[in-house]
Chains A and B, each alone.
Chain A
Amino acid sequence: GAGVSQTPSNKVTEKGKYVELRCDPISGHTALYWYRQSLGQGPEFLIYFQGTGAADDSGLPNDRFFAVRPEGSVSTLKIQRTERGDSAVYLCASSRTGAGANVLTFGAGSRLTVL
């Protein structure tokens, strides 16, 4: 597609539930990134894929968070046993290559609210 697409745009869930957030990157972009952003803060790095593999997952806060990119295109961020502190906007970005100057194109984000 023309841009990075994220679905859903808004998700409200209850504490303890499982959530999946989807990211469809720009066609041909090999690198894909997940960030989360709380109100008034900068984006916080979660995980970065180069192709199908996670090149850096050091930002995932704990083992409730997991992300996949099985075919090197669409990625899904999965959050188990959600907690109220998981509420944030989850941003996905893609770039043409993970090497060199990685200029990111961001999606509009998925706003997650955990009640």
Chain B
Amino acid sequence: SQQGEEDPQALSIQEGENATMNCSYKTSINNLQWYRQNSGRGLVHLILIRSNEREKHSGRLRVTLDTSKKSSSLLITASRAADTASYFCATDARSGSRLTFGEGTQLTVNP
């Protein structure tokens, strides 16, 4: 079964707008990561947030983590057409354990 569930399943925005994707999970985690997948390609790691962190930034990406609500959000600011892809959250239950992925959000950024 999937640990993470993203919402929305699909998101369509205009270039320059911000995109927010959410991820919820069921059990306690060690880390939460976000990955991106372009159509027909492998996944690429974007950002990792540890369970004792609440917010993290990397370029145009901002990730928040609320362990009390078992949820995370990924914000992409000033989106570009090249940001069009599927975005997945992934969690591991403890150090060295497997990563479990959610179902993903398909983001379309219209030029």
Q: Which residue in B42, B92, B95, B100 is a CB contact (below 8 Å) of A91? A: B42
Number of interface residues of B (CB under 8 A): 24
How many angstroms from the CA of A43 to the CA of B103 in the assembled complex?
8
Stretch at the interface among B13-21, B44-52, B56-64, B77-85: B44-52
- Which residues, 3 to 38 on B, are CB-close (under 8 Å) to A? 4, 31, 33, 35
How many angstroms from the CA of A42 to the CA of B91 in the assembled complex?
13
By secondary structure, the A interface counts as loop
Q: Which residue in B44, B48, B50, B103 is a CB contact (below 8 Å) of A41? A: B103
Q: Is A103 an interface residue (CB 8 A)?
A: yes
Q: Interface of A with B (CB < 8 Å)?
A: 4, 33, 35, 41-45, 48, 50, 55-56, 59, 91, 93, 97-109
